[in-house]
Chains A and B, each alone.
Chain A
Amino acid sequence: MESIQTRQAAAGVSRREVIRRLAVLGTGLSVGLAAGCTPLKIGLGIHAPRYDNDPLIGDEVLQAFVATVIPGAPVSDPNLIRVFEDDYYPLARFRGALIADLCQRSDRMFNMKMFSWLNAEQRTQVIQNAISSQSVTRQLYEGAIFLTQISCYAGIYDASGGCELIDFPGKGFIDLADQTYPAAERYLASSLTSSGNYS
C-alpha cells in the first residue's frame, strides 16, 4: 500500500533529468547504461515534521539506508548522506518523505519506529517492500538508491579520494608501468591494417 507521504503525487522529480546528461560522455557503454534512467514522480510528502526538524534522527536513518544499499560503505563519512540534502538533486526536496516512509514501513513491518533500529536483514526487507510497491514509492526508492551509489562509488564529493570500497582511486594518474603490461606483444592478435584505419 502506498504511504501517505508518497500517495499525493504533486510534483515531478525526474531522475532522468538528474542523470540524463551523465550519459553524454560518448563512452560507448556508459552512454547506453546511463540512458536507463527513471523519471521520478513522488508526492510532496505530508511526512511527520519531526524528521525534518531533527537532523540527527534523519541522519541516523539515512546512514542506515546507505549501509543497507552499500554494505561496507563508510557510513560515518558525511559525504555519503550529503547527497540527500544537496539541492542540485531533486530528491533533496523529499528527504523528509523518504525518512518518514522508511520509519513507517519499519513500524508496520517490524513494530520498530526507527528504520535504523532494524537489523540488516530487516532493513533489506523494508527497502524491498518499498521497491515492490506502487510506482510512486518505487521510484522514490530507486532514486535514493541511485544517489547513494553515485555518492559512494563515484566519490562525487571527494574527487581525490575516489572510493576505496571498489578500488576507485579518484583523480590523479597511475604510473605508466601500472597502466599496462610489459612485453605487450604477447597479447596482440593478428592485424588487418598497418595504420589502424581499415579501408
Chain B
Amino acid sequence: MSAIESDVLIIGSGFGAAAPALRLSQAGLRVTVLEKGPHLEVPGDFKQTQDPKYLQQYLTGLSGDNINFTYAQALGGGSGFYEMVSLRAPTIAFEQTDVSGHPVWPVGVDRAALDPHYDVAEAMLKVDQLDLARMPKTGLVFSLMMKRLGYSCERCRYAVQNCLGSGYCVTGCIYGAKQTLHVNYLKEAQEAGATVLTGIEARSIRSLGDPNETSAASGMSSIPHRYEVLCRRTDGSEALFKAKLLILAAGTVGTAGLLLRSRDHLPELSDQVGRNIAFNGSVKVVGLLGEDLPDGDMFSGTTHPGMISYEFLHSHGISVSAVKVMPLMAVASARLRLDGDGRTPLHWGPDNVELMQSFRRRAIALLALGLTPSSAVIELQGDKLRPKLELTDEIRTYYKRTKKLMHSILTDNGCRLIDAEFVDGKGSPHEDLFFSTAHQVGSCRMADSPERGVVNADGEAFGYPGLYVTGGAAVPGSLAVNTSLTILANAERISEGLVERYTV
C-alpha cells in the first residue's frame, strides 16, 4: 500500500484540530486533516428535527461504569452541534491540585498564558455576549430567580451572528448563524492549502525509525517522515499516511482510543494514556416554576438560555446556568417524577402527560459545571473502549452538596422539584451516581512529566518528538464552564509554538 505523505497530519477536525490546521497551513506547511465522521455542508446539511435518524448520523456516545461521554463525529467536530456557549475558564480552574497536591495544569499554562489565545479564538468565532433584547425567557426567569435570592448572574457569550432564535442550535443551525468551524478555521485552512478528508478513521500509529534522533531538528525540510498512520475508510478500504508532524485532535475519547490501540508500536508512551479524564462535574436539577414566576420557554430562543452565574465558583467550585430541554431529551430521561408524588405510573400515562404539558412554559432546568477531579479513565477492552469513574468520597460529597444548593435555588423560589430517575442497563433505576457529560477533557493530558501525563506543556508526547496532542484530550482539568473555547485557545497556543519551531 502506498502512503500519502504530508508535512503535517492532523487527526480530527474539531476545536483542537482547527487551529493547527489553519496556522500551519498559513505558515506554508503541507497539512492534511483526517476526519472519521462524514462531510458536512454548512448550513445545507443541517435539519431542524428531533428525529434520531438524523442526529445519529453525527453524534455518538460512550457509556460505562458510572459515566457517559457524548461527542460528535463529523466534519467540524462538535462545532456543528454544540450550544455555542464560548466562555473563558476562570483562574481558579487553572489552580486546581490533585489528591497528592500536585498542580493539575503544567507550569506556564494558566489563564494569563491563554488569554491572548482566547482573544484570537473569540475573534475567529465572533464571540460576544448575548444581546439582552434577545435573551430567551428561560434565561430571564433564571436571572430573576437568582436576583430574588441576592445572587449574581451574567449574560453568556456565544459564537453566533444574526441569531434568529429558532431553538435548534444543537441539531445544527440551518440559517448559518452559528459560527461553526466550517465557516472560519476549516474554510481558511483549505484556502491556505490544507487538504481535508472525511470518512477516514485513523486506526493505529507507528513511528518510523527512532523519532528521538530527530528531536533537535527544527526546520521542516531537515525532518524525515517520522510517523505513519494506518486508516480505514468508511467503505472498509485501508489507507496509509506518513507525516513529519502528527497532531492528534480526535477528542478525549478518539485520541485515547487511537493511542491505546497503538501502544505496541509506541512503547515509550506514558502509561497515563486513557487516564486523568475530567468530566466537568455535570449536575442537573429540574423543577416546576413557582406560581409567582413568569413563564419560561423550553422550545424557543437560543438552545442555551443565555445566563450563567459564577456566584458559587469559590464556595462550591461550580458555575450554574439554566438549560433547555427539547422534547426528545425530556422523554429520553423516561422517568421524570414530581418530587413527593407517590402515585404510579408516573413516567407514562396521565401523570406524565400532565407534566409534559407543563414542560414548555413552567419547567426550569439548572445545570452546574464544576471543578471535579480528573479521575475518570478509558480502557481498551478488546477493540472496544469503556469509560469508568470511581465514585470517591470527594465526588459523592461534591454531588450531594451541589445538588442541595441547586435544589435550594429552586425551592427558595417556590419551585416544585422534579426528580429525574435514571435507569440502568436492566431498566431499573441506577443504584448509584451516574454522571453524563459532553465536556470530557483529559485522557492524554499535558503535564510536567510522563509520570503525570502524556504530553508536555507544548503538547508534544513524552518520548515521541513530533507527535502532538492539541485537542480536548490535552486539557488536564475540569473548567467549570463549557470546554470548547478553552480547547480552541490551547490549540492556538500550541500551534503558535509549532509555527515558531518548525517554520521560522
Contact = CB atoms under 8 A, between A and B. Distances in A.
B329 A128 contact: no
A128 B157 CA distance: 47
A69 B348 CA distance: 5
A110 B138 CA distance: 47
Contacts of A155: 50, 327
B49 to A, nearest CB: 4
A23 interface: yes
Interface stretch (B193-201, B297-305, B446-454): B297-305
Given A23-B436, A26-B170, A36-B422, 6 more contacts: A15-B427, A18-B52, A23-B61, A30-B326, A33-B420, A196-B129
Nearest to A88: B53
Interface of B: 47-53, 55-56, 59-61, 63, 68, 70-72, 78, 81-83, 87-88, 90-91, 111, 129, 132-137, 140-141, 143-144, 146-147, 151-157, 164-168, 170-171, 282, 284, 286, 294, 297, 299-301, 303-304, 308-311, 313, 319, 321, 323-335, 344-345, 347-350, 352-353, 356-357, 359-361, 365, 367, 420-428, 430, 434-439
A180 B133 contact: yes
Contacts of A179: 134, 136-137, 165, 297, 300-301
Given A28-B365, A159-B49, A198 B349 contact: no
B348 A145 contact: yes
A71 B345 CA distance: 13
Contacts of B137: 179-181
B87 A196 contact: yes
13 contacts: A24-B55, A27-B170, A31-B436, A38-B423, A69-B348, A131-B345, A166-B327, A173-B300, A174-B167, A180-B135, A181-B137, A189-B153, A198-B154
A190 B331 CA distance: 35
A30 B327 contact: no
A180 B301 contact: yes
B390 to A, nearest CB: 18
A138 interface: yes
A28 B332 contact: no
Given A27-B324, A196-B157, A187 B436 contact: no
Contacts of A30: 323, 325-326, 328-330, 332
Contacts of B435: 32
A168 interface: yes
Nearest to B482: A26
A192 interface: yes
Contacts of A191: 152-155
Contacts of B333: 32-34, 36
Contacts of B147: 187-190
B285 to A, nearest CB: 9
A139 interface: yes
Contacts of B300: 169, 173-174, 178-179
**Nearest 10 A/B pairs, CB to CB:** A30-B329, A33-B333, A24-B70, A171-B48, A36-B422, A35-B436, A26-B438, A173-B166, A28-B367, A34-B332
Contacts of A68: 349
A27 B329 contact: yes
A180 B134 contact: yes
A55 to B, nearest CB: 23
A185 interface: yes
Contact of A173 (B87, B153, B164, B347): B164
Contacts of A178: 300
Contacts of A196: 87, 129, 154-157, 308
A181 B427 contact: no
A70 B348 contact: yes
A71 B353 contact: yes
Given A25-B170, A27-B303, A32 B284 contact: yes
B365 A29 contact: yes
B369 to A, nearest CB: 8
Contacts of B319: 198
Contact of B423 (A37, A150, A153, A173): A37
A171 B301 CA distance: 12
A97 interface: no
A90 B116 CA distance: 50
Contact of B61 (A24, A36, A157, A166): A24
B310 A24 contact: no
A167 B310 contact: no
B134 to A, nearest CB: 6
B344 A16 contact: no
B141 A192 contact: no
A109 B319 CA distance: 52
B348 A22 contact: no
Nearest to B369: A28
Nearest to B153: A189
Contacts of B365: 28-29
B328 A192 contact: no
B425 A199 contact: no
B398 to A, nearest CB: 15
Nearest to A15: B427
Contacts of A157: 51
Contact of A189 (B129, B151, B157): B151
Contacts of B356: 153, 165-166
A187 B81 CA distance: 29
A11 to B, nearest CB: 16
A113 interface: no
A156 interface: yes
Contacts of A166: 327, 356-357, 359-360
